Amino acid sequence: MDDRLYFRQLLAGRDVARQDPLARQMVNFVYLIGDRETGETVVVDPAYDVAGIVSVAAGDDMRITGALVTHYHPDHVGGNMMGYDIAGVDDLLEINPVPVHVQDAEVPREERPMPRGPSLRLIWTMTILLGVAIVLRTYRGQLTGRVKDAVKAAT
């Protein structure tokens, strides 16, 4: 088994954002997917506790070099929801400026200014290479263009 693939599933409210009652209630996952050899990882749906997410990656000797946004909901990208401010992509860009990968169907939503900050800087790719390939496919879900993430060895 090749252990080059780095994968962490973080439950908001348990693994990060432990003191955040909304994070515990919403039961959202944040993912770190990367390449142990290069020490690079992307974060999928960075929300609730961006500093905690960055800290988890750093604790694993990984550096976040990009973000993937599955769809525009504040519990996935940050913003305001039900009167709660949620940390997210704009916070990540403040502490660690990285490319943000968003699928075409979500770009009109993501180009809107975030409720608490500036518009996202967008880069769309079908495959993101970090020594491992993250191939993005869409499927019907909460939104028409929701992303399904698949990881496979880079070719």
The Cα 133–Cα 72 span in angstroms is 23
Tokens of 133: 């390939």
- Residue 105's domain comprises 5-153
3-class SS at 35? strand
- pLDDT digit string, tens, across residues 116-135: 444 444 444 444 555 555 65
The residue-averaged pLDDT of 51-80 equals: 91
The count of structural domains within the chain is: 1
Residue 24, domain CATH: 3.60.15.10
Q: Using a pLDDT cut of 90, give the percent of the chain over it.
A: 41
Say if residue 150's pLDDT is above 50: no
The Cα 58–Cα 113 span in angstroms is 29
The Cα 95–Cα 69 span in angstroms is 17
Strand order, beta sheet including 29-35: 5-11, 29-35, 40-44, 63-69, 100-102, 122-123
- pLDDT digit string, tens, across residues 92-110: 999 999 888 776 666 555 5
- pTM for the model stands at 0.76
- Provide the greatest CA pair distance for the chain: 46
